[in-house]
Amino acid sequence: MQPLPDLATLTDDGLKSLIEELEAEENEVSYRRRLLQGRIDILRAERTARLKGSGVGDVDVDRLTDILSARGAPVVPVDGDEGS
């Protein structure tokens, strides 16, 4: 991340352009975070299923919908692991 330029030297157009650039970067980071969170949710659900003795195995679209909409199985801590 780059430091902000001297704001006193920016024109109104330059300030607007910088805002738009940073908003676009924020949107990209947010999208990536959502993708990663979805993958984490799927992996946690698989881990929970395995701990219960029944791995997910084949992809079940209905189950994925539940997992990704936070209706999936709760996180089960293992050996002091607090939900990771």
Q: What is the pLDDT of residues 21-39, one digit of tens each?
A: 999 999 999 999 999 999 9
pLDDT of 56 reads 57
Q: Does the pTM of the predicted model rise above 0.85? A: no
Q: Please indicate, yes or no, if residue 73 is contained in any of the structural domains.
A: no
Domain membership of residue 16 as a residue range: 11-68
Instruction: Answer for the pair 44, 36: CB distance below 8 angstroms, yes or no.
Output: no
Counting the structural domains of the chain, the total is 1
Instruction: Answer for the pair 42, 68: CB distance below 8 angstroms, yes or no.
Output: yes
Instruction: Answer for the pair 73, 42: CB distance below 8 angstroms, yes or no.
Output: no
Q: Please indicate, yes or no, if residue 20 is contained in any of the structural domains.
A: yes
